[in-house]
Amino acid sequence: MKYKSTRGRVGLIDFQDAVIMGLGDDGGLLVPQSIPDVRGRLKHWSGLEYNDLAFEIIRLFAGDIPDADLRSIINRSYSKVVFDPAVAPVVKTGPLHVLELWHGPTLAFKDVALQMLGNLFEHILSRRGGELNILGATSGDTGSAAIYGVRGRRGIRIFIMHPAGRVSPIQERQMTTVLDENVHNIAVDGSFDDCQRIMKQIAGDVEFKRAARLGAVNSVNWARVLAQIVYFFSAAFDVQKSTGAAGVKFSVPTGNFGDVLAGWYAMKMGAPINQLILATNANDILSRFFNTGVYSTGKVYQTSSPSMDIQVASNFERYLYYKVGEDPQKLSDMMNQFGSTGSLGVPLDQQGKVDADFVAGAADEQQVLDTIAKHYRDYDYVLDPHTAVGVSTAMRLAGDDAPVICLATAHPAKFPSAIRKATGQDIGRHPAIDKLMNLPTRCLNLPGEASAVKDLIAATIGL
C-alpha cells in the first residue's frame, strides 16, 4: 500500500515514510492509495483474537514492514502488561453496548493507537538510524498517551502543547509528572485550536521540519487512524456473536474527527457497520456539518468533556477529500476558503443529507450530567463525560433497528468533578490517578505563537 496527500503534492510513498512524515510536507494529510475490500475475510476474521485481527488489518496498509516485525510490534503494543484485562472489551449496559477503550496506561482510548505508534517509531529508527523530534498538540488525552508511548525511548524527543488551564487537572498531571529527559510539556496561552494551528504552521515550514527531524503523534499521523480501525471490527464481531445481528451501529464522541473517521474507514472496508452516530458536545461544528452541509467555526466553549472542546477538526480534511471525489485541487480550494473565511459547504443529497453513513447530534452539559446520573442509578455503570456525550446522543438518535455500540473513550476517574456533580458521590477514582497527586511536575509556559515553540525546539535539540 502506498500513500498520497490530500493536497496532491506528495507523491506515492511507503507506509514507514508516511509514519515518519506525519503531516504531509505539502500541508495535506496522508491517505492510503486505496481502501481494501475485506468482505470476503469477515467470517475468518470474526474468530480471531485481538492481536491477530490487528495484524491482519494493519498488514494490508503496512506492506513495507516484514510480517515477523509487524507481529512483534503489535504484540508489544497490546500485551497484557500494557492493557489490563483486555485492549477493547465490550460490556452491556442497559439497552446499549459500551466499548471500553480505557484499559491502557493513561486510561484513555488514545493509548490503543499511541502505544503502537511509539513502537513503530522505534522500529523505523532502529533500522534507519537518526533521531525523531515529535511535536504534538493535545486537548487532554492525546498528550499523556503520546508521552507514555515514547517516554525514555532512545533517539526520540517529544514536545507536547496543551492549552493552559483548559485541560482537566488530572489530564495535566498525567503529562507534567513525566520527568524523563526526552519529554517536554508546553502550556500554551490559548485554546486547543491555537495549539493545533501552531503545530500545523511549524510542520508547514518544510525546511525547519526537515532540519529539526519533526514527526507527529496527533491523528494527522495516518498510523493513529489505522490502529483505531481495528477495534471497530473487533467490537462489531463481539456484538454480532452475542446478539446474532447482521450489523451494528457505533456512537462515537468526537472532537477532532479521528476516531469516527477510523469507523468510517472500517465501514468502507466492509465491516458489519450499518451507521455511525457522530456525537459532539457544545462545540458542535461537526454535528452541524452533517446536519446542514455547512462547516463553520464558532466560539470554543469549555465543557466537562475538554478533549472535545475543538472547533477545527484536524481529520476532517481526510473525509472531505473523499467527499470531493479525491480531487486534490478541489480539496485545496475548499481548505483555502475555510482558512480565509472560517466556513465551507457541501451540497446535500436528494434526501437532504450530507452522507447517509452518518447521523449526528450534540449533547449539552445538562444532558451529559443527566446521562451519567441515569447510567449510574439504573445500571450501576459510571460513564466519563466524553462517553456520556456519545451515550446521550445515541439514546436520542439510534433507533432500534440494530444494536448500538458506544465508544467509552476515558475512565471516569480522569474527570472526578463531573462524576461528583452528576451522581453526588466521589466514585470517579482509580489507583493510578491517585498516585499522581503528590508527584513533582515539569512544564513550560509559552505564548500562543509558532515562533516561540519553534525557538524552544531549536534550542533543545541544538539546531
Count how many Cα atoms sit within 13 Å of the Cα of residue 330 in the half-sphere of its side chain.
11
pLDDT band at 210 (very low <50, low <70, confident <90, very high): very high
- Residue the block writes with cell 532540519: 211
The total of other beta-carbon atoms located within 10 Å of residue 207's CB is: 7
**Residue 57 and residue 54: Cα distance in Å, rounded?**
5
The pLDDT value recorded for residue 253 is 97
Torsion, CA 44, CA 49, CA 51, CA 56, rounded to 10: 0
Q: Which pLDDT score, from 0 to 100, does residue 195 have?
A: 94
User: Would you name the residues annotated as active-site residues?
Assistant: 110
Q: What is the pLDDT of residues 256-275, one digit of tens each?
A: 899 999 999 999 999 999 99
The helix (run of H) or strand (run of E) holding residue 91 is: strand 90-93
Give phi and psi for 350, each to the nearest 5.
-65, -20
Q: Read off the pLDDT band of 110 (50, 70, 90).
A: very high
Structure confidence at residue 452 as a pLDDT band (50, 70, 90): very high
Which CATH architecture fits 90-107+223-431?
A: 3-Layer(aba) Sandwich (3.40)
Kindly list the domain boundaries of the chain, sorted by start residue. 90-107+223-431
- The confidence score (pLDDT) of residue 306 equals 84
Cβ neighbors of 178 (< 8 A, separation 6 or more) are: 144, 147, 148, 151, 185
Residue 424 φ/ψ region, left for φ over 0, alpha for ψ in the -120 to 50 degree band, beta for the rest: left
| Distance, CA of 169 to CA of 413 (rounded, Å) | 11
- pLDDT number for residue 305: 92
Average pLDDT score over the chain = 95
* pLDDT tens-digit readout, 387-423: 999 999 999 999 999 999 999 999 999 999 999 999 9
**Interatomic CA distance for residues 274 and 278, integer angstroms:** 13
pLDDT of residue 416: 93
**Beta strands 96-100 and 90-93, pairing class:** antiparallel
Q: Is the pLDDT of residue 463 over 90?
A: no
Side chain identity, residue 118 = G
- Residue pLDDT, tens place only, 117-174: 999 999 999 999 889 999 999 887 889 999 999 999 989 999 999 999 988 888 899 9
* pLDDT single digits (tens) 323-381: 999 999 999 999 999 999 999 999 998 888 999 999 999 999 999 999 999 999 999 99
* pLDDT reported for residue 329: 97
Quick one: pLDDT at residue 430? 93
In the chain, the amino acid numbered 345 is G
> Average of pLDDT values for 86-91?
98
Q: What integer is the mean pLDDT of 200-229?
A: 93
**Per-residue pLDDT at 168:** 85
What are the distances in angstroms from CA 91 to CA 100, 235, 242, 421?
A: 7, 10, 11, 25
Is the model's pLDDT at 32 over the cut of 80? yes
Q: Please give the pLDDT value at position 232.
A: 98
List of residues 6+ apart from 79 with CB closer than 8 A: none
* Half-sphere exposure of residue 421: CA atoms within 13 angstroms, side-chain side: 14
Nearby residues of 87 by Cβ (< 8 Å), 6 or more positions away: 50, 78, 103, 104, 112, 231, 234
- Chain Cα centroid distance, residue 347: 27
The residues, any chain, with a CB within 8 Å of residue 174's CB and separated by 6 or more, are: 106, 143, 144, 147, 414, 436
Read off the amino acid at residue 88.
A
Percent of the chain whose pLDDT exceeds 70? 100
**Amino acid (one-letter) located at 255:** G
